[in-house]
Chain A
Amino acid sequence: MTESTAVTGGLATGPSRSGAGTGIAERQARRRRRDRIRRWSWGVPLWILALVFLLPFAWMISTSLKPDLEAFRIPMQWIPDEPRWENYTEVLFGENSILVAFWNSVFVALLRVLGELTTATLAGYAFAKLRFPGRGKVFIAYLATSLIPAQLLLVPRFVYFQELGLYDTLWALILPGMFTVLGTFLMRQYFVSQPDEFAEAARLDGAGEFQIFSRIYLPNATSMISALAILTFVWSWNDYETPLVFLSSPETFTLPMGLTNFTDENGAMAAGLSMAAAVISIIPILLVFLVFQRRFVRAMTESALK
């Protein structure tokens, strides 16, 4: 009976009825073993499922090391006989080098993160900690604006960027990304949770408002700030729609656009090169994710649940 519950891993563990006459040590040993079986009986199927989930990435890597023609050979060969590392050198240093797009992406992401952090912390702090006439009204307007999908704004932005000469420049991606409502909202939620007493005490000591913000509240907010930085970076790095609309020449392409540049002589996607480029485009995000995993997850849940 104990075995079967262990395998199904019931929520109700129930006291062991068979152990009436056995010693405590023996009973504990049995429970430990049962727990171990239960852990693995859930763990193994989940691991298999996770591998299936990740299979497309394995395919991506495998294909990135093959000549284009072999990508679709039947049956699929997971480990190519001769890994074609040239795909990577070609993608990095060849004719359509992805490095330009890579640096464009880095440039856009860095400026967006910097701008977003600056404007969002200042505004978020003001909405949370400074009292000024009109604050409530502006904040309500912000909340309402936050519900508008960026998609709806593409047409007017497109027109304005053309008029302002920003079309087909990286600034068309950077500028709107530097001033966001969501970032301000996240920072405001954080600062609201901080006590007012610091500011009051500092004010009595004659500290200026910007000093109070930058010396007292900002240093305490590092975890929220890094969460926002991670979020902004990920959005910026993966954005495909905005560059598709606002960029037209390959020199300005960011990575997601640059990935679509690898075609064979028939204009079809060149599998090996495209996948090598795709792998390269994923690495920075994966690194951010693995290195800052805890903060990353926090950033995701915070932005979702606040």
Chain B
Amino acid sequence: MSTAQTRADGLGAPPDPRGPTARGRRSSGRAPSDPKPIVGWLFIAPNLLGVLAFTFIPLVSVILLSFTEWNLVSGFGGIDFVGLDNFLAVFQDPTFWRSLVITILYAGVAVPLTLVVGLALALALNRDIPARGLLRAAFFVPYIVNIVAIGMTWQMLLDPSAGLVNQFLGVFGLEHLPQWFASSYWALPALILVTIWSQAGYANLIYLSALQDAPTQLYEAARIDGAGRWASFRAITWPSLLPTTVFLLITLFVGISQTFGMIALITNGGPGASTTTLSFYMYQTSFQFYRFGYASAVGLVTFVGIFAIMLLMWRAQRGRALHD
């Protein structure tokens, strides 16, 4: 189909790891001029050793740690093996479930809205408009700015009494202005708002590059058939963007469900744990309460959950693509 299709598929279905060149050709053995096997290992060695040291060993450690009870202070001698206790405790931990609900609410609202804003912007910016390049850049800027600068700015913009946003809303004579990060009711919506603002540029960029591959001849045909704008969007544009949408859905979900910086910076999980997402809870249990074993279990359960949802989304998309 379109290139977008193959690209998005490449995400979940790894291409043949041996690469296209390894297939079929010269299967009978090494040609005399082929490099010695050791050469390949030498080439990957620097990266492989680093990945082993900084990713693989920590990963194994976090799995091992999740079966123990340990706070750093007691030293390595203080590591107690507790079997599955941590995992049992995770599932009985009301804060864990609460954080799960908050994470789902947060990502469940922020991800689709980011997608919609990004898509709408991309469709509009794909038209012939004056200074289009500059416009595209403008919407992308929030995405590349560091989270601390963004967080501090929005914290002040959303100040309940003196912030610019409420000053603006006050112009309309609204009685009960949202209290944003100061209220446990409004903190999550405020977080969602800032998230959409900062992530929409990314969704926009990916959609724009997918629109380059849109089948233009079909639009011509649709026009001749008398199809309106909405009809041709539904019949042509949307299906051709479906793989990109699923891709964005997955990456935004993974990214947004792991949002940490803004929460740590602005709300510190509050007020009253109203913005304690799973990733922030994980941080709290490890680096504020120093319950390393338990934190590892929380982290593993969270990651497995996110991974499962990701897989489901990808499966659903694949089923649909096959159906087409």
Contact = CB atoms under 8 A, between A and B. Distances in A.
A159 interface: yes
A179 B306 CA distance: 24
Contacts of A131: 18, 22, 30, 34-35, 37, 40
A260 B264 CA distance: 12
Interface stretch (B89-97, B174-182, B225-233): B225-233
A154 interface: yes
Nearest to A140: B17
B56 A139 contact: no
Nearest to B127: A42
A65 B268 CA distance: 28
A71 B37 contact: no
Interface string A6-48: 0001111110000000000000000000010001101100110
A72 B159 CA distance: 9
A175 B57 CA distance: 14
Interface string B295-316: 1100110110011000000000
A35 B129 CA distance: 10
A245 B287 contact: yes
A279 B164 CA distance: 19
Contacts of B37: 131-133
A281 B154 CA distance: 16
A126 B307 contact: no
Contact of B62 (A129, A142, A153): A153
Interface string B136-155: 01111110111111101111
Interface in A253-306: 255-257, 259-260, 269, 271, 274-275, 278-279, 281-282, 285-286, 289-290, 293, 297, 300-301, 304-306
Contacts of B137: 289-290, 293
A72 B163 CA distance: 7
Interface stretch (B98-106, B107-115, B183-191, B202-210): B202-210
Nearest to B300: A152
Interface string A130-167: 11111110111011010111011111111110100000
A128 B44 CA distance: 11
Contacts of A162: 72
A245 B155 CA distance: 22
Contacts of B130: 39-40, 43
Contacts of B163: 72
A282 B296 contact: no
B314 to A, nearest CB: 12
19 contacts: A40-B129, A46-B125, A127-B44, A136-B17, A140-B14, A151-B283, A160-B57, A176-B54, A178-B50, A179-B51, A192-B15, A237-B146, A244-B264, A271-B156, A286-B141, A289-B141, A293-B133, A305-B8, A306-B10
Interface of A: 9-14, 35, 39-40, 42-43, 46-47, 50, 53-57, 59-60, 63, 71-76, 118-120, 122-123, 125-136, 138-140, 142-143, 145, 147-149, 151-160, 162, 175-176, 178-181, 184, 188, 192, 196, 200, 203-204, 209, 213, 234, 237-238, 240-241, 244-245, 255-257, 259-260, 269, 271, 274-275, 278-279, 281-282, 285-286, 289-290, 293, 297, 300-301, 304-306
